[in-house]
Homo-oligomer: A and B are copies of this chain.
Amino acid sequence: MIYFECDYGEGCAPAILQALEQTNLEQTVGYGLDPYSLKAQQLIADLCGLNSDEHKESGTLQENLWRERETAGAVHFLVGGTQTNTVVINYLLRPHQGVIAADCSHINVHETGAIEHFGHKVLVLPTQDGRLTAAQVQDALLQHLYDPNIEHTIQPGMVYLSFPTETGMIYSKSELQAISSVCRQYRVPLYIDGARLGYGLRSPKADITLRELAALTDIFYIGGTKQGALFGEALVICNPAYRKDFRYFIKQGGGMLAKGRLLGLQFLTLFTDNLYWQLSDHAVSQALRIRQALADKGYPLYMDSYTNQQFTVLTNEQMERLQQRFVLSVVERTDSGHTVVRICTDWATDPENVTQLINAL
């Protein structure tokens, strides 16, 4: 069987395994305070355009009393996406606040209620294609402000986006600017889940750079798990107001890896010699071959995606035939005769497998 089911079906970019091997018996301190993690943090901060003044927190509440600590960095490495979302949202929200998110967002649908389990409501907004609009976000904020029973309802405390979304869609620069602008006007932080960030930024439709995205958000993460790492996500806290004591939250949330250098090493490797972007390009280009084939052969494009996830609608006959050789991901059955499926490529997708799929369509 050939898998197009997800983007975490293989191991990792071989260069990562090589890095792990080369450093395997070195002794370092744990919990992400090792030299590899520090180096990777600096590298990512630079790539995101966080200058050193921003990178180092100055003047904390207890500046003359509490020792200066590593708890205040701009970049942190966590193990997985659900964990990262939980830790960030738990950090940003006060107990009476909720997170504005799209109906199909990962935090609303596929994290077993982890956000709620940590005490926060997901304030769901409906979407056509998985993307929120600035107007929607503003309406939700205003609706709360003018609610006569204001304190009987949850206060919107942050906005969560995915780039790309669960539906493979990306925001244009101007769309992100508009949302970011609303967030700053109403002083609610903007957080972007970048589990597939590379597959979004390297889409031919993307008109925004990593650095521009960083400038528009308060916190976002650069996905590793789905982008060529064994595991790991690089969290970037662009807004220095949200750095203090962050490491406590990572530890409390079960996300502080004892052998933290494993995360540092992986991101160091991914962001050396543009590996991350090359792996992203590969996945996107294979996905676009599938997109073209779907269009050519008259399959409906269920989402207008130019990233590594393609969505189409199959008849039962088509479904049955393809399932004999390929593993696809079932999104939903729209009626008794049709099924929406997702076809995923990733950094490791074999072009020959794509050719076979195209031929089988």
| A residues apposed to B, CB below 8 Å | 2-3, 5-6, 8-12, 14, 17, 20-21, 23-31, 61-62, 65-67, 69, 71, 79-83, 86-87, 90-91, 94-96, 98, 109-114, 116-122, 145-146, 148-155, 185-187, 225-226, 230-231, 245, 247-259, 262, 330, 348
Q: How far is the CA of A11 from the CA of B20 in the complex (A)?
A: 8
Tell me whether B94 and A251 are in contact (CB under 8 A): no
Q: How far is the CA of A52 from the CA of B215 in the complex (A)?
A: 42
User: Which B residues touch A109, using CB under 8 A?
Assistant: 153
Q: How far is the CB of A271 from chain B (nearest CB, A)?
A: 20
User: Within the complex, which residue of B80, B116, B258 is in contact with A254, where a contact is CB–CB below 8 Å?
Assistant: B80
User: Which B residues touch A25, using CB under 8 A?
Assistant: 10-11, 348
Q: How far is the CA of A150 from the CA of B112 in the complex (A)?
A: 9
User: Which B residues touch A252, using CB under 8 A?
Assistant: 95-96, 111-114, 117
Query: Other than the known A8-B258, A11-B259, what 14 A-B pairs have Cβ atoms closer than 8 Å?
Result: A6-B30, A17-B20, A62-B186, A67-B146, A71-B150, A91-B95, A95-B118, A96-B245, A98-B116, A118-B119, A148-B330, A151-B245, A151-B251, A226-B258
Q: How far is the CA of A252 from the CA of B153 in the complex (A)?
A: 9
Q: How far is the CA of A149 from the CA of B154 in the complex (A)?
A: 29
Which chain B residue has the least Cβ–Cβ distance from A346?
B27
User: Which B residues touch A251, using CB under 8 A?
Assistant: 82, 111-112, 114, 151-152
Tell me whether A254 and B86 are in contact (CB under 8 A): yes
Tell me whether B245 and A259 are in contact (CB under 8 A): no
Most interface-central of A23, A27, A149 (chain B CB within 10 A): A27
Q: Give how many copies assemble into the complex.
A: 4
A187-B62 contact in complex given A24-B11, A96-B112, A96-B249, C-beta closer than 8 Å: yes
Tell me whether B253 and A254 are in contact (CB under 8 A): yes
Q: How far is the CB of A235 from chain B (nearest CB, A)?
A: 13
Q: How far is the CB of A189 from chain B (nearest CB, A)?
A: 12
User: Which B residues touch A69, using CB under 8 A?
Assistant: 150-151
Q: How far is the CA of A199 from the CA of B81 in the complex (A)?
A: 32
Which chain B residue has the least Cβ–Cβ distance from A333?
B146
User: Within the complex, which residue of B12, B94, B96 is in contact with A24, where a contact is CB–CB below 8 Å?
Assistant: B12
User: Which B residues touch A226, using CB under 8 A?
Assistant: 258
Q: How far is the CA of A316 from the CA of B331 in the complex (A)?
A: 46
User: Which B residues touch A187, using CB under 8 A?
Assistant: 61-62, 65
User: Within the complex, which residue of B110, B112, B230, B330 is in contact with A259, where a contact is CB–CB below 8 Å?
Assistant: B230
User: Which B residues touch A114, using CB under 8 A?
Assistant: 251-254
Tell me whether A65 and B186 are in contact (CB under 8 A): yes
Tell me whether A152 and B110 are in contact (CB under 8 A): yes
Which chain B residue has the least Cβ–Cβ distance from A349?
B27
Q: How far is the CB of A126 from chain B (nearest CB, A)?
A: 11
User: Which B residues touch A31, using CB under 8 A?
Assistant: 152
User: Within the complex, which residue of B9, B20, B29, B230 is in contact with A9, where a contact is CB–CB below 8 Å?
Assistant: B29
User: Within the complex, which residue of B3, B95, B111, B257 is in contact with A231, where a contact is CB–CB below 8 Å?
Assistant: B257
User: Which B residues touch A11, using CB under 8 A?
Assistant: 20, 23-26, 259, 262
Q: How far is the CB of A239 from chain B (nearest CB, A)?
A: 14
Tell me whether A79 and B28 are in contact (CB under 8 A): no
User: Which B residues touch A71, using CB under 8 A?
Assistant: 150-151
User: Within the complex, which residue of B3, B24, B116 is in contact with A120, where a contact is CB–CB below 8 Å?
Assistant: B116
Q: How far is the CA of A301 from the CA of B249 in the complex (A)?
A: 36
User: Which B residues touch A259, using CB under 8 A?
Assistant: 8, 11, 225, 230-231
